[in-house]
Amino acid sequence: DAKTTQPPSMDCAEGRAANLPCNHSTISGNEYVYWYRQIHSQGPQYIIHGLKNNETNEMASLIITEDRKSSTLILPHATLRDTAVYYCIVRVATTTSSALEPDAPTGGGNKLTFGTGTQLKVEL
Amino acid sequence: DTGVSQDPRHKITKRGQNVTFRCDPISEHNRLYWYRQTLGQGPEFLTYFQNEAQLEKSRLLSDRFSAERPKGSFSTLEIQRTEQGDSAMYLCASSSTSGEDEQYFGPGTRLTVT
C-alpha cells in the first residue's frame, strides 16, 4: 500500500471548517483513499473513502486532487466532539475492480495500515 | 445498536497467564480483522478471517497468539503465557464483501499485564 503523510497536529475553532490534508504521492491506480478517526479510548471510526471523485456523506467531504497525489478531509462545521486522531489510509478496495485499473486483481480482504495520523483539537 | 462488540472491555492479568478475548462482528459481515494498538501508535494488523478461514496473519502474531472463527460468526483471540509487552488495546473490525470493504471497529479490549 502507498505511504501517506499527514501533519501531526492541527487546531480548529468550533463551528469552523476543519481541513485535514494528506499526501499520498505514490498512490496506485487501484488504490482508494480511506479516512478513519479515533476518539480517545475508542475504536477507530470509518468516515469516508474515495477513488478519484470528490465524495460527501453526513460526516465529511473528501476532496482528491486530479493527480490523486493528495487529498483533504473536510469537516464543514467542527464541534468539540470532532476532537480525535484522524488517519488517512491508502489501500486497494478489494471487493470491486477499480474504475482506473479495471484489470487489477480484486478479491480477498486487506488490512488497514495506520500511520500516526493527525491529532485534531477543536476548541471554543 | 448492531455494531461490532468486544468482550471484555478491560482485562488485567498477571504475567504468564492465558487470556481470551471475544469479538462479535456486524451480523451480515463475513470478514473479520484483529488489530493491536499500543499507546501513541496507530492500530497494527494482526490477522484476518473471511468466514471461518484465517487468510492472513501478521508477523506480530507470535506462537503465543491464536485466533479462531469457528462458525464464521464471532471470533476469539487467545494469548498464552502473557508478557508485559502484550499490554495493549486489542481491536476487532468487520467488513462485508458486498461493499468496498469499509471496516467497522469495535470498542476494543484493553489488556494490562502486570
pLDDT 10s digits, A33-90 = 999 999 998 999 999 999 998 999 999 999 999 999 999 999 999 999 999 999 999 9
Written as one letter, the residue type at B78 is E
pLDDT of B34 higher than 90: yes
Say whether A93 and B101 touch across the interface (CB within 8 A).
yes
Q: Give burial (CB, 10 Å; 0-12/13-18/19+) of B81.
A: exposed
Mean pLDDT throughout B11-36? 96
Cell of B32: 473479520
Report yes or no: B61 at the A interface, CB cutoff 8 Å: no
- Say if B104 is an interface residue toward chain A (CB within 8 Å): yes
Asked if pLDDT for residue B6 goes beyond 90, the answer is yes
By Cβ distance, the residue of A95, A111, A112 closest to B100 is: A95
CB pair distance less than 8 Å for B42 and A96? no
Query: Would the CB atoms of B102 and A46 count as touching at under 8 Å?
Result: yes
- A2 — pLDDT class (breaks 50, 70, 90): low
B42 touches chain A (CB under 8 A): yes
Give residues 46 to 85 of A whose Cβ lies within 8 Å of B: 46, 49, 85
- Output B96 or B18, whichever has higher pLDDT: B18
Asked if B91 and B105 count as a contact pair (C-beta separation under 8 A), the reply is yes
Per-residue model confidence (pLDDT) at position B101: 75
The residue in chain A having the minimum alpha-carbon distance to the alpha carbon of residue B40 is A116
Res B28 pLDDT > 70: yes
The answer to whether A45 and A36 have CB atoms below 8 angstroms apart is yes
B57-109 pLDDT, tens digit each = 998 888 999 999 998 899 999 999 999 999 999 999 999 877 677 899 999 99
In chain A, which residues have their Cβ closer than 8 Å to the Cβ of B43?
Answer: 44, 112, 114
What pLDDT is attached to residue A105?
A: 42
